[in-house]
Structure 1
Amino acid sequence: MRFEAAPDGAKRLHRFGLAIRAQRERKGLTLADMAAAHGYSTSAWSRYENGSPIPPELPAKLDELMETQGMFAVLWDVVKDEMWPDRYRDYMRLEGAAQEIAEYAPYVVPGLLQTPAYARALFVAGHPEWSEDRIEREVEARMGRQARFGGDDRPYLSGVLDEAVIRRIVGGPAVMREQLERLLPLLDTKDSVLSVAPFTRGTRCGLDGPLILLTLPDDGQAAYFEGLVNGQLLEDPNGVRIHRRAYDRLRVESASLEESTALITAAIKELRP
């Protein structure tokens, strides 16, 4: 699934960074002081002040350090909703609230499971015209989407990966090996279940693109289906139900835990020097 920060969102991030710098200088703090206070590196603080996406827990820490009575938390609520193009904004809002996320990935590792190096390789290959700074901003934005998985409100994640996903080498053998090694522990946990849909299972059940299904706190359902040209967000119960059934068939057709583990492990071994 392709998410790229909107131009207006990038401008707002830049203004957010200027606010950080202004408050830091008002307090007489250096970047090294900021790093010592909260553990992020001086280079990370420099990126944040220059408009890179920030970790979602940072606004509260900024308010505490700068004594700004919630100013940064309020600013971030505005900025984060404007980071994405209109066609993705509603999806991002729903994803941020979802209690369960189910995803079918036929081409590449889902963004919520990507390592920074894997994500960077995808951006470099897909957007050769982008500057290094733009690429780093996009990588940090993608990593920011993963922050919920480290918190108490982490969603339950279910995923089906086509075997092409684990066979397609993105970023070179070392990057791909790191990515696959990250997937292995997530195959079966209390918060996640992943499986591989092997080539040997043949044709998939009518899905020709990535699919994401969201279960919301009020038990509402949403589906995002990406075709060859663009994506479509569905909240209509009938439309979501059709895609949910297609995903359920994919789960049935995919490999068992043991088979999925063996397929990923074999792919890792093939990538070793």
Structure 2
Amino acid sequence: MPPAAPSPIRRRSRLGTELRQLREAAGLTGDQVIDRIGWASASKLSRLENGRSRPDPQDVQRLLDLYGASEAKQKKLLGFTHEAADMRGWLKKFPAMTQQQRGFAELEAGCAEISEYGPVLVPGLLQTTGYARLRISSAQQIDQEAGEPEIGEDTEAEIAARLARQELLKQDTDPPHYTAVLEEAALSSRAGPPDVLREQVNQLRELSMLPNVTLHVLLRETPLDQQWYLPPTAFSLYRFTDPQDPETLAIEGGFTDVMSTEVIALNRYKVVFERLRTAALSEQDTYHWLTKSLGRLSGTATPSNLASGSATAPAQRRGSSGRLTER
């Protein structure tokens, strides 16, 4: 069944695609639609069909009438319009949400499965307050040194918004299955001072015990037959509860992110993610590696006495190692 709170960004995309298909089936060009409806700008229809604007129910109704859509189709697409346009109910879950973090939260909403690869940074859904503060403030320093105007909200607001997004993994009802492959470098001394890393490693250790979270650490030293490919950037794969919502690939390119629903690109990155997951430590070995790392960062020879939470490694979950491409 469709999720109770579907992804607004995916609803806009679905709505735009189906409106474009209806227009083409009616044999109308974009210019003809603009003339008949009387819109002042041709870009309005383009933004709507490409899912780049928040749809207005009255605008959508006029298009549906023009295209001669069936009653069932109208009911369906007007429902999409409401879910994509009315953000108030959806944002109640994120009282601290900022504009910068909203795009990520919209994409993550309604997900059945999220898979992420972090080559040099811990993904946002796993970051602690200290780690997030370091990442956000350092990016702002780059903007200032580059002579760019300050972008987004203040640091603390961004941190609060990022932490609000993380509640997705702990929600009581149908949390997404989350899998991450982290390069060892993301937790090395270059990633932050010892106190920040200690807090971050401890949080990863605790999150790995959640039944819907699977973490893998990819060590610097791996067998030669597994060093076949080094992804140049971090990336994320999103599969939604509603099977009609297209799977989405997000590629993190430093200061610019790219999103795609192209099937060929998605399949390539699914294969890459599976190879990375296979080359990384198993779920249980990752838990033990995190425990030992916590001990080293705490300056003790008995890390198991210092780590908070359960001292038992997460059990192997049925189906947790299944291939993304098969799901």
TM-score under structure 2 length normalisation: 0.54
Correspondence list, 1:63-102, <5 A? 73=88, 76=91, 83-84=99-100, 89=103, 92-102=105-115
The CA deviation string for residues 229-253 of structure 1, in whole angstroms up to 9 with x for no partner, is: 6321111122111111110111111
The aligned amino acid for 2:99 is: M
1:211 aligns with 2:232: no
Gaps of 5+ in 1: 1-70
Give the aligned CA root-mean-square deviation in angstroms.
Answer: 3.1
1:154 aligns with 2:154: no
CA contact 2:97–2:161 (8 Å) conserved in 1? no
Distance 1:118 1:82 in 2: 18
Distance 1:159 1:189 in 2: 13
Residue 185 of structure 1 deviates from its aligned partner by 2.6
Q: Match of 2:285?
A: 259
CA contact 1:163–1:196 (8 Å) conserved in 2? yes
TM-score under structure 1 length normalisation: 0.64
Residue 94 of structure 1 deviates from its aligned partner by 2.3
CA contact 1:215–1:221 (8 Å) conserved in 2? yes
Distance 1:208 1:118 in 2: 22
Aligned to 1:211, the other structure's residue is in SS state: strand
Counterpart pick for 1:117 among 130, 140, 146: 130
Residue 124 of structure 1 deviates from its aligned partner by 2.2
Counterpart pick for 2:264 among 235, 238, 249: 238
Question: Aligned residue pairs: how many?
Answer: 199
CA contact 1:101–1:157 (8 Å) conserved in 2? yes
The aligned amino acid for 2:286 is: S
Distance 2:168 2:90 in 1: 19
CA contact 1:94–1:216 (8 Å) conserved in 2? no
Residue 159 of structure 1 deviates from its aligned partner by 0.6
- Paired-residue identity, %: 25
CA contact 2:98–2:158 (8 Å) conserved in 1? no
Residue 82 of structure 1 deviates from its aligned partner by 8.0
Counterpart pick for 1:223 among 240, 249, 255: 249
The aligned amino acid for 2:155 is: I
Q: Match of 2:139?
A: 126
Aligned to 2:122, the other structure's residue is in SS state: coil
Aligned CA distance change for structure 1 residues 229 and 114 (closer, same or farther; 3 Å): closer
The CA deviation string for residues 67-114 of structure 1, in whole angstroms up to 9 with x for no partner, is: xxxx9945947x9998139xx83x542212211100000111110011
Distance 1:81 1:120 in 2: 16
Distance 1:260 1:75 in 2: 35
The aligned amino acid for 2:100 is: W
Aligned to 1:200, the other structure's residue is in SS state: coil
Q: Match of 1:187?
A: 208
The aligned amino acid for 2:200 is: Q
Aligned to 2:100, the other structure's residue is in SS state: coil
Residue 217 of structure 1 deviates from its aligned partner by 1.5
Distance 1:245 1:157 in 2: 17
The aligned amino acid for 2:233 is: G
Aligned CA distance change for structure 1 residues 110 and 246 (closer, same or farther; 3 Å): same
Aligned CA distance change for structure 1 residues 221 and 259 (closer, same or farther; 3 Å): same
Q: Match of 2:320?
A: none
Distance 1:261 1:161 in 2: 13
The CA deviation string for residues 118-149 of structure 1, in whole angstroms up to 9 with x for no partner, is: 10122222223579x81101111111211222
Aligned to 2:201, the other structure's residue is in SS state: helix
CA contact 2:115–2:178 (8 Å) conserved in 1? yes
